[in-house]
């Protein structure tokens, strides 16, 4: 079931009632705009059109649940192809947005550090001698600094070298050789710094905890030994398949419509004639073939 639905284009899936209801229950009046954005995202990334299309929907629903835009150029959320699935990846702007909603942060930032800008860094006291105007010609990136300050006065500063970021990517990222890690390395590095800093030292809302859990999560297959929840998902998948099949039923072409009317006229005989025909057919079947 899911295999068939996986090949249904997203532009068709978002027109199905079940998907519309799912988006509307999460986004309300903004559901149509979100669906339009999703179709645009898939159209702009042909690799997304090759993966399981329901995984694209599911990944987009992570953004919808967190109320983050999925326009890939904004950097709040990426939908990244990983093997034959789509994977949701939250950008550093997404984490800043979620932190702001807690109402506990006074300020927050993350920046790229170039060679010549960082004079010294003390990881124990978290004191950084940073000169934004000290950049050496060549613009070589050497690391990334993250900072936040809470309303209660608590502050935190962290510094990651570029080599530390690369090691973290290689160890933990499922799609390290594609997607934003390949096209927007600095943005993903800033996200890594912020995410690590927030999860270790920052106050976490339920929404932020959900974001960390869903970030870069690969959708799972439905097991053959289904739980009740899996059966519900399977039933929904079948309903979507049925709805899609109905929407794609071929309409009669010219020439066929008159034949259809003729066939209907033939079949719409009086009941007595039909009974007589049935009796004749039965008598013929009873006759010996010689």
149-197: per-residue pLDDT in tens?
A: 999 999 999 999 999 999 999 988 877 777 788 888 999 999 999 999 9
pLDDT digits (tens, 9 = 90+) for 32-72: 999 999 999 999 988 898 999 999 999 999 999 999 999 98
Q: What average pLDDT does this structure show over 195-219?
A: 87
**89 close to 78: Cβ distance less than 8 angstroms:** yes
Q: How far from the centroid of its chain's Cα atoms is residue 95's Cα?
A: 17
DSSP state of 103: T
pLDDT score recorded for residue 70: 92
Residue range 116-152, pLDDT digits in tens:
999 999 999 999 999 999 988 788 999 999 999 999 9
Q: 175 vs 148, 168, 170, 172, 182, CA distance in Å?
A: 28, 12, 9, 9, 9
H or E element in which residue 24 lies: helix 17-27
Token code pair at residue 151: 């309303």
The 10s digit of each residue's pLDDT in 7-38 is: 888 999 999 888 899 899 988 999 999 999 99
Give pLDDT, residue 127.
Answer: 93
Closest alpha carbon to 119 in 132, 130, 133 = 130
Question: Can you tell me which residue has the tokens 């550090």?
Answer: 113
Q: How far apart are CA 90 and CA 27, in angstroms?
A: 18
Tens digits of per-residue pLDDT, 213-266?
888 776 544 333 333 333 434 455 456 655 655 666 544 444 444 444 545 544
CB atoms within 10 A of CB 50: 11
DSSP label of 69 = -
In sequence order, the 6+-apart residues with CB closer than 8 A to the CB of 154 are: none
pLDDT of residue 269: 47
Cβ(98)–Cβ(208) under 8 Å? yes
Q: Cα dihedral sign for 35, 38, 42, 43?
A: positive
CA angle 212, 215, 220 (to 5 degrees): 120
Residues 222 and 226: their CA atoms lie apart, in Å, by: 7
Q: Which two tokens stand for residue 262?
A: 């003729």
């Amino acid at each position: 079931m899911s295999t068939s639905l996986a090949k249904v284009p997203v532009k068709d899936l978002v027109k199905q009632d079940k998907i519309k209801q799912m988006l509307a229950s999460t986004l309300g009046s903004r559901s149509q705009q979100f669906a339009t954005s999703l179709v645009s995202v898939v159209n702009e990334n042909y690799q997304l059109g090759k993966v399981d299309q329901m995984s694209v929907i599911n990944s987009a629903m992570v953004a919808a649940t967190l109320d983050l835009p999925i326009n890939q150029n904004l950097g709040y959320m990426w939908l990244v192809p990983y093997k034959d699935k789509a994977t949701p990846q939250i950008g550093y702007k997404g984490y800043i947005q979620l932190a702001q909603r807690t109402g506990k942060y006074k300020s927050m930032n993350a920046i790229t550090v170039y060679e010549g800008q960082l004079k010294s860094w003390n990881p124990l006291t978290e004191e950084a001698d940073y000169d934004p105007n000290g950049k050496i010609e060549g613009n070589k990136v050497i690391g990334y600094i993250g900072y936040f300050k809470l309303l209660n006065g608590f502050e935190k500063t962290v510094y990651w070298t570029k080599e530390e970021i690369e090691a973290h990517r290689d160890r933990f990222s499922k799609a390290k050789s594609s997607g934003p890690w390949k096209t927007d390395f600095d943005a993903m590095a800033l996200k890594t710094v912020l995410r690590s800093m927030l999860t270790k030292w920052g106050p976490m809302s339920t929404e932020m905890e959900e974001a960390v859990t869903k970030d870069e999560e690969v959708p799972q297959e439905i097991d053959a030994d289904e739980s009740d929840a899996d059966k519900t998902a399977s039933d929904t998948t079948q309903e979507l398949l049925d709805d899609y099949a109905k929407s794609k039923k071929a309409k009669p072409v010219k020439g066929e419509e008159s034949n259809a009317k003729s066939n209907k006229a033939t079949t719409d005989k009086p009941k007595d004639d039909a009974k007589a025909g049935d009796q004749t057919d039965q008598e013929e079947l009873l006759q010996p073939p010689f």
